[in-house]
Each structure stands twice: as C-alpha cells, then as structure tokens.
Amino acid sequence: AAGVIQSPRHLIKEKRETATLKCYPIPRHDTVYWYQQGPGQDPQFLISFYEKMQSDKGSIPDRFSAQQFSDYHSELNMSSLELGDSALYFCASSPATAGGFIYEQYFGPGTRLTVT
C-alpha cells in the first residue's frame, strides 16, 4: 500500500539558511499534518491543512510557513534557521476529517534536519 512520502530524508543546513521540506500524502487523503521531534523529545504538532486551507496551527515559529497545493502535497518552508531547529520533521496524512469523525493519521518516515 502507498505510504506518506517525505523528501529529502536528510538535510544539512547552516545557520540563517533556508530549508524546504516536502510531503506527499497517501492518495485520496486530503488532510496533512506537520510535526517536529527534537532529540530525545516527543513529537510536537506544528500545523495542518485540509483541502488546501490551513485547518489548525500549533507551536510553529513565525520563521516557518507551510502550504498545501492543488495535488494535496505540502511543503514546510523554514527560514533563518537556528541550531535549535535541528530535529526530525514528520508529515502525516489522513482522510477527510469532515462529519465529526476523526480518522487515524499515517506518518511518513520523516526528514532529519541538521543545522550547523
């Protein structure tokens, strides 16, 4: 079965640089979530999109922005990178969450970002 695809899998950037992470959800999933997991920490919710509109926002720094495109893939753009941004970034997708039912989320393998 098709899974969530994330690219790149590894990324090394220097401080103050910009990074773009991409997420391709499971086909027919129209909701995408982004999570950040720092070293030794639990995943933290950043932001989510439903039908190309931002649906929820968590502890995402102002330096980060994200969007969902017409083909439902999503990109997380990170600017002015700091050492503390070094983390695993996971994307997850789920079927439509309309109608009051909350579906399970399927996670990608993550992008490991290292800021030096």
Partner 1 sequence: DAKTTQPNSMESNEEEPVHLPCNHSTISGTDYIHWYRQLPSQGPEYVIHGLTSNVNNRMASLAIAEDRKSSTLILHRATLRDAAVYYCILVGWETSGSRLTFGEGTQLTVNP
State how far the Cα of 18 lies from the Cα of 94, in Å rounded to an integer: 28
**x-marked contacts with partner 1 along 87-106 as a string, rule CB under 8 A:** ---x-x-x--x--x-xxxxx
**x-marked contacts with partner 1 along 63-92 as a string, rule CB under 8 A:** ---------------------------x-x
State how far the Cα of 29 lies from the Cα of 1, in Å rounded to an integer: 13
Chain-centroid distance, C-alpha 9: 12
State how far the Cα of 91 lies from the Cα of 43, in Å rounded to an integer: 11
| Residues of span 22-61 touching partner 1 by CB under 8 A | 31, 33, 35, 42-45, 48, 55-56, 58
| Residue range at the interface with partner 1 (CB under 8 A); choices 21-29, 68-76, 79-87, 107-115 | 107-115
